[in-house]
Amino acid sequence: MAIQVSGITKRFNDFTALDSIDLEVRSGELLALLGPSGSGKTTLLRIMAGLESPDAGGLLLNGEEALGLKPRDRQVGFVFQHYALFRHMTVFENVAFGLKVRPRGQRLGSAQIRQRVTELLELVQLSPFAGRYPAQLSGGQRQRVALARALAIEPKVLLLDEPFGALDAKVRKELRRWLRKLHDDIHITSVFVTHDQEEALELADRVVVMNQGRIEQIGTPAEVYDHPASAFVYEFLGQVNRFDCTVEGGVAHVGGGALTIPTEGGVQGPAVAYVRPHDLGVTPATAGPGRISGIHVVGPDARIEIDLAGLALEAEMDRERLATLGIVAGDRCAVHIDRARVFAR
Amino acid sequence: MPADTSISAPASIPVPPAQSALTEPAWVRAALIGGALLFLALFLLLPLVAVFVEALRRGFDAYWTALIEPDAVAAIKLTLIVAAIAVPANLLFGVAASWCVAKFDFRGKNLLITLIDLPFSVSPVISGLIYVLLFGMNGLFGSYLRDMGVQIIFAVPGLVLATVFVTFPFVARELIPLMQEQGSDEEEAALVLGASGWQTFWRVTLPNIKWALLYGVLLCNARAMGEFGAVSVVSGHIRGETNTMPLHVEILYNEYNFVAAFAVASLLAMLALVTLVVKTALEWRFGDELAAARH
């Protein structure tokens, strides 16, 4: 594996940012550290880069103990959240920086540096902008300069801190695809930090979900989405209906018997159930226990708000299905849920 | 669109001419601008012109003679020496202080910022007096220094110390807000890219603060050369030895030697003018750079 984190702990005064984190990043994979702000994900990334030092634990980069190494000796590429481009240097000079500051013995000749920077600018599709200053670029372009600059030193590992955080939605989506493609082409071991679950699920090979300085779950995007390991992961990844229930013999009773759901997980007694909106079935029924309290159409999808014996639920379906059902706000309906994940209360 | 199209803008209400809500009537603007200009002319421009008029009252020869007179030359030299020591010292102190205030978090940071401002809030006379109390004959270290044969008060070291104290905030004050705003992201980026601490400072930090630094140095220099109160206390007013230009002007004036007094004063006035011009040029340049540098 490329990075091995073992028992990393970091405190800032009374606040525990990281609580004994163990994590392996495999060679060549694109890994997402996903979590809300304050979950410790950026701190973990900065520790990998050597910008922060942990209070305890170990870190191996390509099998070598790295905690004793300065950032400059770790051979990592780091893309900062706000890019941290050198504002007084042109795009070309920014990308060349890492090559020019090498000790005399290891430094490339200026012609070779020029060639390498030119190649990198082609890679990030910024050749025409070589002479511009960062202030003259758009957010997406700055982001790509930051990436080219990080790649210039031929890092073994690429670390990205909220790489798309400062971009607007459309650019973010384009850049995300572009980065995924870039990673497929150059296969550099990469770790990126994000608080955006959609970004993590779309981009990463594996996702590490973090909360309050701990890892909640590690898995492929499908694993963490379909089989969340904890209530936190359920709530953090995607939309979810959360309601109290009582489980008896593997069956959850909701809203005083208005609904019964088969459960998984072997919990007994008072529990919290989680159901994704698209796993919630709605059928019109004149004497049904539920009432449609609102319908919101967003693009191709429809969100249906249901009042089930005082419990507010949300279902999601495409517009065609909604039209077939022919339900409108105020109708009575029946609700059925094939399966729910429950966690003991 | 509503089907009812009969609603139209009422035609009877006169539309006021397009102007910002903050624009005042013309006569208010004229009065304010005129008042400000008149005030400036009366209190700043007139005295400045008077300096040159008085200096040249007996013709250019008399003016020139007053400037090349040995005591005047000594005062000019001394002023240049004091500034040549005080300004670089404060350049270093200023950069170091702003660096640690802007880039590190530590206990007592606010105290440090307050202390940096102290010379601004203390009367210059007090600034001079501090050194007399410390290093003077009857001062804290007075007897020790006398035994060692070192003279600080009534000598060049005292003048330099007092000047350094008074001009301390200029560089730091310019740099701290700028460096705080810039943060340390770029430095971190440089370190990760393989730069050493020195490389980071010379290639990243310094270029980012150079205009503010120059601006601070300029102000610092103007004050170092023009300082009167603090140096007056520690100087001892020995003609040709411990008199800086401002002190020399005072002595000449007290001797009713108006032409010579104003001649030396005109040099200081010219220094002020040059400083102003360079400062304006820098502000123009530096404001531009700052605006472009904002991400």
What is the tens place of the pLDDT at every residue in B165-220?
999 999 999 899 999 988 889 999 999 999 998 999 999 999 989 888 988 999 89
Return d(Cα A278, Cα A302) in angstroms, integer.
Answer: 10
Which tens digits make up the pLDDT trace of A241-259? Answer: 888 888 888 888 887 777 8
pLDDT of residue A51: 93
Rg of the Cα atoms in chain B: 27
Q: Record the pTM.
A: 0.79
pLDDT of residue B82: 94
Q: What is the mean pLDDT of residues A34-39?
A: 92
Of B188, B293, B294, the CB nearest to A84: B188
Q: What is the mean pLDDT of residues A109-116?
A: 93
Residue A159, CA distances (Å) to A99, A115, A162, B23, B166 in order: 18, 24, 10, 52, 48
Helix (H) or strand (E) holding B62: helix B59-68
Q: Which of B96, B248, B190 is closest to A146 using CA atoms?
A: B190
Of A84, A98, A153, the CB nearest to B186: A84
* Contact pairs from chain A to chain B, CB under 8 Å: 77
Burial of A238 (0-12, 13-18, 19+ CB in 10 A): middle
pLDDT of residue A278: 87
Q: Does B186 touch chain A (CB under 8 A)?
A: yes
SS3 for chain A is CCEEEEEEEEEECCEEEEEEEEEEECCCCEEEEECCCCCCHHHHHHHHHCCCCCCEEEEEECCEECCCCCHHHCCEEEECCCCCCCCCCCHHHHHHHHHHCCCHHHCCCHHHHHHHHHHHHHHCCCHHHCCCCHHHCCHHHHHHHHHHHHHHCCCCEEEEECCCCCCCHHHHHHHHHHHHHHHHHHCCEEEEEECCHHHHHHHCCEEEEEECCEEEEEECHHHHHHCCCCHHHHHHCCCCEEEEEEEECCEEEECCCCEEEEEECCCCEEEEEEECHHHEEEEECCCCCEEEEEEEEECCEEEEEEEECCEEEEEEEEHHHHHHHCCCCCCEEEEEECCEEEEEC
- Distance between the two ends of chain A, CA-based, in angstroms? 38
Tell if the CB–CB gap between B292 and A135 is shorter than 8 Å.
yes
Helix (H, G, I), strand (E, B) or coil at B194: coil
pLDDT of residue B295: 37
Strand partners, A4: A24, A60
Q: How close is the nearest chain B Cα to the Cα of A311, in Å?
A: 38
B198: chain A residues, CB-CB within 8 Å: none
Strand partners, A25: A3
Tokens 């990592």 -> residue: A76
Q: Is the pLDDT of residue A99 over 90?
A: yes
pLDDT of residue A175: 87
Which one-letter amino acid corresponds to residue A257? G
Which tens digits make up the pLDDT trace of B244-266? Answer: 999 999 999 999 998 899 999 99
Of A71, A85, A87, the CB nearest to B191: A71
Rounded to the nearest 5°, which phi and psi values hold at A179?
Answer: -65, -40
A135: chain B residues, CB-CB within 8 Å: 292-295
Rounded to the nearest 5°, which phi and psi values hold at B173?
Answer: -60, -35
Return d(Cα A206, Cα A43) in angstroms, integer.
Answer: 19
pLDDT of residue B102: 87
Helix (H, G, I), strand (E, B) or coil at B226: helix
- pLDDT bracket for residue A59 (50, 70, 90): very high
A150: chain B residues, CB-CB within 8 Å: 192-193
Tell if the CB–CB gap between A72 and B196 is shorter than 8 Å.
yes
Tell if the CB–CB gap between A135 and B192 is shorter than 8 Å.
no
User: By percentage, how much of chain A surpasses pLDDT 90?
Assistant: 51
Rounded to the nearest 5°, which phi and psi values hold at A344?
Answer: -60, 140
Q: What is the DSSP letter of B10?
A: -
Which tens digits make up the pLDDT trace of A161-195? Answer: 998 887 888 888 888 888 899 899 888 999 999 99
Kindly give, in sequence order, each residue whose CB lies less than 8 Å from that of residue A330, ignoring residues fewer than 6 positions away.
A291, A292
Residue B165, CA distances (Å) to A306, B93, B123, B129 in order: 73, 11, 11, 12
pLDDT: is B18 or A298 the higher one? A298
Smallest CA–CA distance from B202 into chain A, residue: A101
A82: chain B residues, CB-CB within 8 Å: 185, 295
Q: Does B188 touch chain A (CB under 8 A)?
A: yes
Of A78, A83, A101, the CB nearest to B195: A101
Rg of the Cα atoms in chain A: 25
Residue B154, CA distances (Å) to B75, B164, B237 in order: 14, 16, 8
pLDDT of residue B288: 59
Tell if the CB–CB gap between A82 and B189 is shorter than 8 Å.
no
- pLDDT bracket for residue A1 (50, 70, 90): low
pLDDT of residue B15: 59
Q: Is the pLDDT of residue A49 over 90?
A: yes
pLDDT of residue B146: 82
Burial of A341 (0-12, 13-18, 19+ CB in 10 A): buried
Best residue in A87, A100, A149 to probe B by mutation, most B CBs within 10 Å? A87
Average pLDDT, chain A: 90
Of B189, B196, B207, the CB nearest to A88: B207
A133: chain B residues, CB-CB within 8 Å: 292
Return d(Cα B54, Cα B52) in angstroms, integer.
Answer: 5
- Where chain B has pLDDT below 70, the residues are 1-19, 286-295
